[in-house]
Chain A
Amino acid sequence: MNPHALSLLQQMLGDQANFRPGQWEAIEAVALKRQRLLVVQRTGWGKSLVYFLATKLLREQGAGPALLISPLLSLMRNQIEMAERIGVRAFTIHSANRQEWEAVEAALAGDECDVLLISPERLNNERFLTSVLPGMAGRIGLFVVDEAHCISDWGHDFRPDYRRIVRILQLLPKGVPILGTTATANNRVIADVQEQLGPGLSVLRGPLTRETLRLQNLRLANQSERLAWLVENLPKFQGSGIIYCLTVPDTERVAGWLKQNGFLAEAYHAGGDSEKDRPNLEQAFLHNEIRILVATVALGMGFDKPDISFIIHFQRPGSVVAYYQQVGRAGRAVDRAYGILLSGAEDDEIQNYFIDTAFPSQQSMQEVLDALEEHEVLSIEEILSYVNITRANAEKALKLLEVDRAIGTTYDRKVLYFRTPNPWTPDTQRIERVLALRREEMHQMQAYVEHPGCLMEFLQRALDDINPHPCGRCANCRGKGLSGVVSHPLVMAAEDYLKGAQVWIKPRKRWPVGLFPEQKQVILPEVQNCPGRSLCYYGDAGWGKLVRNGKYVAGSFSDELVEAAAQLIQNLWKPDPAPAWVTAIPSLRHLTLARDFAERLAMRLELPFLPVLERTGEAPEQKTMQNSTMQARNVINTLAVNRRIPPTPVLLVDDIVDSGWTLTMAGWLLRSHGSGPVHPFTLAQATGRNIN
C-alpha cells in the first residue's frame, strides 16, 4: 500500500477512510504500471475515486491530463466536488455548456486541467477537435472509459459512439494507460471487450450482491390497481425512494396521482420543459425535499444517493442488467432497503415497441444515404424534405451511418451532414444480433418476474456473479412480503384519476422547413390554433383502450366517450372564448367516424355542427407521412374550405392527433377564411408507441 495514496484518499473521504478491496490494485495498475484495465464493480464501489486518484498520481509524475469519456456527464457533479478535495481540477465539455468552452480551453492551454470529462459524441465534434483537443497539446495521460460495457454489442445498452472509442483505443500507442469501468458486465461482455481492446487488457472484478437489499415481485394486472397499490403501500416504507416507469407519460401520471394523494413526489425524465429542472430535482431529492422521484431511465448511472431505501418498478424493465442497475441504487448506506418489481399487462407491449423501433429500417438508411450522395452537404431538415421518415428515425439513421463511417458532419451555424467516400453496406448481422439479444433479455426478465426461488440468486446467475447463493432476505426466501391485494375504492379512485387526466395539444408556431420555400416559417398568431386538449393517450389505460376499440373494432365511438369529452370540455378545460359552433376534420377513409363523433358531441354541447372542411383528393393516410414537411405537404394538398365560415370561436374535432399538422393546417384555413379562435379537441393523442 502506498502511504501517499492513502493520505490522498483520506483527504477526499475523511481521516478514517480506507481503500475498499480492489481499489488500490486498480490505481496501482493504471497510475504506476501504466497498464490497461477493465474494472467491473457494482455501483457505489467507488470507481470515480479510482480514476481521480490515478489521475492525481499520474499528474504528479508529470503526465498529461486524463480524458474521461462518459455518456452521463450531467450526473457527475458530486464526484467532481470530491476530486477537488485532492486538488484534481476537473472540467466538463458537453453540448449544454458551450459558453464555458473557452474557459476550459484556457485551462487546458495553461495546463490547469487535470481531468477533462466529455461525452462520446464529442470525439467527433469539429469544434472539440480543432480548438479543445489541441489545447491539451496532445498529452493525454490517461483514458478513462465509463460504462465500458457499451464497447460490446453484447452489453445491455447499445451506444454506437462506443465503436469510435474502440477504434481510437486501438490506435493508441502502448504506454498510455486505459481504465474502463462498468457496474455490470457478464462473462460474454468482458470477453468481447478484451478481444476488441487487445490482449493487454486485464480485468478486475468484484462481487455484485448487495447485502441490504430485499427483493419482491408482484403482478398487478392494470395500471389502476398498481396506482392504488402504491398509495396503500408507500406509507409502509421509510425514507426516500425511486419509482421507475418505462415511458414519460407514465412518470407524469404516476407522479400526479401520488401528489393528489399527498405524497412528496415529482416526475423526472429527459426532454421537454423538464430538461432544465433535472439538476434541481436531483438536488431536492438528495436533500430529501422530495421523497419520491418517479423517473424514467434518464435517472441513470452515476446518480448517487446513499440513503435510498426503496426502489419500486411500476413496469418491468427490459433486461436483468437494467433492472439490477436501477434496483442497486437502493441500500448503499441504509441497513434495509426494498426493491419491489410491479409488472403488468402493458409491459410486453412497451418492451416490444422499444425493440421494434430500436433501429431504423435498412431502407430508410439507404434513402438518407442516397439523398446525401446527391449533395455536398445537407441539414437534417433538408434530409427530411427528401426522405419520408420521422425525425427521430432520421437521427438514429444518421448516427448509425456516422459510426459506420459512411457520413461525416460539419458545422456551419447548424450541423451539416455529408457522404464520405467510404463504402457502406448495411450491417444486418450486427443489428439482428443486437435485436436477438434484446429479446433474450426480455425473456429473461419475464422469467425473473415468475421466478419462485431466491430472486437475488437469479440476478447473480444472470450476471455471472462469482459466487451466487440464496440471499435469505427476498420475499421468496422468507416466504412473506407485501400483499398484492388492494382496496376496491382506491382502485376506483385511480381509475377516475386515469380518465380525468388532461392531455394538452400544443399549437404549432412554425411551418416545417421546405414547405413554403418562398415564405417565412412563422405561423402568424392570428392564424394559429389555441392550445387544445385530448381526452387521453391512445391505447393507454383509462379512455385510451375505448378509443382504440371504437376506431378499429366497433367502427364508432361510444356514447361514453361523447359524455367524457363533454365533461372534460365543460368542467375542466373551459375553452375561452367559448366555442359557438363545432366542426370536424373530414376523412376519406373512416368516412363517418370522426364526423359522427363530432356531430354527437356538438349535440351534447348544444352547439351547431357545420361541416365546413372537405377533402379535395385522396391523400395517403397522415400517419404514413413520417415527418413534418411530408405531413404538412400532405395536408395542404388535400384540405379545403367549402362554404362561408361564421366569424365566431369554433371547436375543431378530430379522433386522434399525431403530428398535429392536420389540426394546424385546418385551423389556419379556418382562421384565414374568417373564423374566430380555433380550439382543437381530439379523443386521443398518439404517444409515438402503441399506434394500432
Chain B
Amino acid sequence: MFISPDNQAILLLCSYLGLPPDPDPAPLTRDEWNVLARKLQASLLKRPGAMLDLSAGDLQSQLGLIPEEAHRLVCLLERGGTLAIELERFESLGIRAITRADDDYPQKYRQRLRESAPPVLFFAGEKALLGQPGIAVVGSRNLDEAGKNCTEFIGNACGRSGLVLYSGGAKGVDSISMKACLEARGTVVGILADSLEKAIRAPEMRSALSRGDACLVTAHAPNVGFSVGNAMGRNRLIYTLADYAIVVASDVEKGGTWAGATEALRKDWIPVFVLEHQDMPNGNRLLLQKGGLPFPHPFQEHFSKLWEWLELNAAQARPSQLNLF
C-alpha cells in the first residue's frame, strides 16, 4: 500500500497520529487548515503534497506565511517517519485514513458541510456504505419502553429494506438500533465519538465489519477516547450522511441529542423527525415545536413503507419548514 503525497501532507498537518497528548506545535484545526488550503490553491503549489519537501523559507515565500506559521508547518510535516509507523499499525488493526483530498471522501460531507467537513476521517469496515441511502437514529442513552420499541423497529426496517442505518455507535439508542438492523441482515454506519480502536474489538461488530455490513468512522485519532467536545462535533456528521433523521428521545436544553437535533433543524440539512407519543420526553415535545416532524408511535404501516412514508411526510412539511423564514 503506497499513500498519495496529498494524503500524507493532510494527515501530517491535521491529525494527531504519533503525537503526544498536548503537542507543541499542535496540528492545524479544521479552520486553520481551510485558511491554508485556500492559500495553497491560490499559490503555485496547488496541491498539499507539494509542501512535503519544502523548507520553512520556501513555504513562507510561496504561501505568504509569517515565519512562525511556516516553522509550525515544517515541524508538522517533518513527522513522516512516525506517521508511517502509526498508519501501518492502524491498517494492521483494520483502520484506514481518508482525507478531503481523496476522491472517495464522502460526497455528502463535501456538499452539506463544505469547509466544516473534517479534513481527515478514520474508518473500519466497508467505506462504500458512507452516504448510501439511509436513516439516522439519534437519542439519549436512557430510553422508555416506547423509545426502545421504536428504535428496534427502525433498525429492523432499515435492515429488511436495504437502507443504511446511521447512528453514533454508542450505548442505548445507537446499539439497540444497530443490533436490530444487523440481525435483520442489514448494513450500519456508526460515527463514533469514542475510540475506534476499541469499538472494532467487540465480537459482533467485528464480524459485521469483516462481512462488509458495517462501517465505523471517526473524525478523531482512532485511539482517542470519548470526550463531550468530540461528541458534540460528531452529531452533525451523523445527520449529514443520512437522508432522514429520527430523534427517538431527547432531554431539554442539555445533552448531545438536544444539541445535535436543534443544530440539524437550524441548518436544514435533511428532514428531522421526532418520535411523538403520549408519554414522550419533554425534549421531543420542544423539538416538535421547533419544527421537528412528528413520527408516530407505533408506526401504523408496514415496515416496507417506512422510506416512502418519510419521503411523503417530509415533502408535505417542506413548505411549512420553509415558512419559518
Contacts and interface: CB of A to CB of B under 8 A. Distances in A.
Contacts of B168: none
B201 A171 contact: no
Contact of B80 (A137, A173, A405, A419): A173
Contacts of A198: 2
Contacts of B84: 168-169, 171-173
A124 B52 contact: no
Interface in A414-458: 418-423
Contact of A176 (B75, B80, B94, B203): B80
Contact of B53 (A130, A167, A170, A174): A174
Contacts of A124: 89, 92
B210 A168 contact: no
A366 B203 CA distance: 17
Interface in A99-148: 123-124, 129-130, 133-141, 143
Interface in B37-88: 52-53, 75-76, 78-88
B91 interface: yes
Central interface residue in A129, A130, A376, by most chain B CB within 10 Å:
A129
Given A408-B93, A423-B210, A138 B79 contact: yes
A335 interface: no
Given A133-B18, A172-B84, A422-B210, A139 B78 contact: yes
B221 to A, nearest CB: 11
A374 interface: yes
A175 interface: yes
A377 interface: yes
Central interface residue in A124, A169, A171, by most chain B CB within 10 Å:
A171
A172 B81 contact: yes
B324 interface: no
B322 interface: no
A61 to B, nearest CB: 12
B72 to A, nearest CB: 12
B1 A167 contact: yes
Contact of B88 (A168, A418, A419): A168
Contacts of B85: 123, 129, 133, 168
A3 B41 CA distance: 45
A374 B86 CA distance: 27
Contacts of B209: 421
Nearest to A139: B78
Contacts of A419: 201, 203, 206
B142 interface: no
B116 interface: no
B29 interface: no
B125 interface: yes
Nearest to A165: B88
Contacts of B52: 173-175
Interface in A150-182: 164, 167-176
B83 A171 contact: yes
Contact of A139 (B79, B92, B203, B207): B79
B206 A405 contact: no
B82 A134 contact: yes
Contacts of B137: none
B94 A139 contact: no
B5 interface: yes
B190 to A, nearest CB: 13
Contacts of A346: none
Given A172-B84, A376-B203, A420-B94, A137 B79 contact: yes
B319 interface: no
Nearest to A167: B88
B20 interface: yes
Interface in A277-324: none
B229 interface: no
A98 interface: no
Given A138-B82, A168-B84, A173 B8 contact: yes
A373 B207 CA distance: 8
A423 B207 CA distance: 10
Nearest to A143: B81
A684 interface: no
A64 interface: yes
Contacts of A171: 1-3, 83-84, 87-88
A233 to B, nearest CB: 51
A67 interface: yes
A405 B91 contact: yes
A375 interface: yes
Interface string B22-34: 0100000000000
Contacts of B210: 421-423
Contact of B94 (A129, A138, A164, A421): A421
A138 B11 CA distance: 12
A345 to B, nearest CB: 45
A402 B12 CA distance: 26
A608 B52 CA distance: 85
Contact of A134 (B2, B18, B87, B124): B18
A377 B79 CA distance: 32
A397 B168 CA distance: 36
Nearest to A375: B203
A170 B125 CA distance: 23
Nearest to B5: A173
B43 to A, nearest CB: 20
A198 B3 CA distance: 13
A139 B81 contact: yes
Contact of A138 (B8, B83, B88, B89): B83
A418 B201 contact: yes
A639 to B, nearest CB: 37
B180 interface: no
A133 B20 CA distance: 9
Nearest to B3: A171
A167 B91 contact: yes
B223 interface: yes
Contacts of B87: 171
A136 B5 CA distance: 22
Given A171-B83, A405-B92, A420-B94, A138 B200 contact: no
Nearest to B16: A134
B19 interface: yes
Given A130-B223, A168-B85, A376-B202, A138 B207 contact: no
Central interface residue in A173, A175, A419, by most chain B CB within 10 Å:
A173
Given A167-B88, A377-B201, A421 B75 contact: no
Contacts of B200: 420-421
Contact of B206 (A140, A167, A173, A421): A421
Contacts of A134: 18-20, 23, 82
Nearest to B86: A129
Contact of B201 (A129, A143, A376, A423): A376
A524 B19 CA distance: 49
Given A134-B18, A137-B75, A174-B52, A420 B92 contact: yes
A129 B85 CA distance: 8
B124 A421 contact: yes
A414 to B, nearest CB: 17
A523 B131 CA distance: 60
A124 to B, nearest CB: 6
Central interface residue in A130, A138, A173, by most chain B CB within 10 Å:
A138
Interface string A322-350: 00000000000000000000000000000
Given A129-B89, A421-B210, A423-B210, A374 B82 contact: no
A172 B87 CA distance: 10
A139 B82 CA distance: 7
A416 to B, nearest CB: 10
Given A134-B20, A175-B80, A419-B206, 9 more contacts: A140-B81, A175-B52, A373-B203, A375-B203, A402-B92, A405-B93, A405-B94, A421-B206, A422-B93
The 4 residue pairs across chains A and B that have the minimum distance between CB atoms: A138-B79, A140-B81, A421-B209, A173-B80
16 contacts: A123-B89, A134-B19, A137-B20, A138-B81, A138-B82, A171-B1, A172-B80, A172-B84, A173-B80, A376-B203, A408-B92, A408-B93, A419-B203, A419-B206, A421-B207, A422-B210
